[in-house]
Amino acid sequence: MTKEERMENLNRLSGTDVKKCMKCGKCSGRCPAFKDMDIKPHQFVSMLARGKVDELLECDAIWNCLSCMACVERCPRGVAPAAVVEAVRDTVVRMQGKNGIKAEEIPPIVDELIPQQLLVSAYRKYNK
């Protein structure tokens, strides 16, 4: 796939129009996981717009986005940065051997209170 095609794929998968961004940074101003994001929410939007697909596919931030929708909620331009994050994450986990979490990693961190939905959602978010 060419870079343009991968860019196109991410755009389509995210379902959001990154060209609408006016670079105000409100998404990053609001993001509760900001410090743990190596690529910041506003950068997801601008990097996709500028075709920096490879950098996006290699970032760690996709594992730290909380999917809390705070960025989506308050974007003054109707852009959904979280949808770009998810599009990147989906693209990564759909690649061979790129699952975000491995079954064997789970047991050591599971305590007996952990709710099912955390496991289910982790599998859905991080694995394919």
Partner 1 sequence: MQRIGVFICWCGSNIAATVDVKRVAETIKSEPGVVFAENYQYMCSENGQQLIKQAIREHNLTGIVVGACSPRMHEVTFRKAAEEAGLNPYMVEIANIREHCSWIHKDMEEATEKAVILVRTAIAKVKLNAPLTAGESPVTKRALVIGGGIAGIQAALDIAEAGFKVDIVEKNATIGGRMAQLDKTFPTLDCSACILTPKMVDCAQHENIDILSYSEVEDVKGFVGNFHVKIRRKARYVDETKCTGCKLCMEKCPSKKGLNEFNMNLNTRTAIHIPFAQAIPNVAVIDSTQCLKFKTGKCGICQKFCEVGAIDFTQQDTFVERQYGAIVVATGFKPIALDNFNEFGYADNKDVITSLELERLMNAAGPTNGVLLRPSDGQHPHVVTFIQCVGSRDTSGCGKPYCSKICCMYTAKHAMMIREKYPDTEVHVFYIDVRTPGKNYDEFHRRAVEQYGVDYIKGMVGKVYNENGKLMVQGANLIDNEQVTIESDLVVLATAIEPEPSVRKVATLLTASIDTNNFLTESHAKLRPVESPTAGVYLAGVCQGPKDIPETVSQASACAAKVIGLLVKDKLKTNPCVAMPDEMMCNGCSQCANVCAYGAITYLDKEFRIGGGKTEIRRVASVNPAVCQGCGACTVTCPSGAMDLKGFSSKQIMSEVDAICKK
Partner 2 sequence: MKISYYPGCTLRTKAKELDTSARLCAAALGVEMEEIENWQCCGAVYPMGTDEIATKLSAVRALDYAKHHGGKLLTLCSACHNVIKRTNEDMKANGDIRFRANNYLKLDEPYEGETEVLHYLEMLKNVVGFDNIKKAVVKPLGRKIGAYYGCLLLRPSGVMAFDNPENPTIIEDFIKAIGGTPVVYPFRNECCGAYVALKNSELPKQKSQKVLASAKEKGAEEVITACPLCLYNLQVNGGDILPVKYFTELLAEALGVQA
Using CB distances below 5 to 8 A depending on partner kind, what does residue 88 bind out of partner 2, partner 1, none? none
* Residue 114 φ then ψ, to 5°: -60, 125
Stretch that binds partner 1, among 22-30, 90-98, 105-113, 116-124 (CB under 8 A): 22-30
Q: How far is CA 35 from CA 77, 100, 103, in A?
A: 24, 20, 27
Q: Which does 101 bind (CB under 5 to 8 A by kind): partner 2, partner 1, none?
A: partner 2
CA distance 107 to 84: 31
Residue 110 interacting with partner 1 (CB under 8 A): no
| Nearest approach, Cβ of residue 53 and partner 2 (Å) | 16
Answer yes or no: are the C-beta atoms of 48 and 14 closer than 8 Å. Answer: yes
The residues of the shown chain that bind partner 1, judged by CB under 8 A, are 20, 22-31, 34-35, 40, 42-43, 70, 74-78
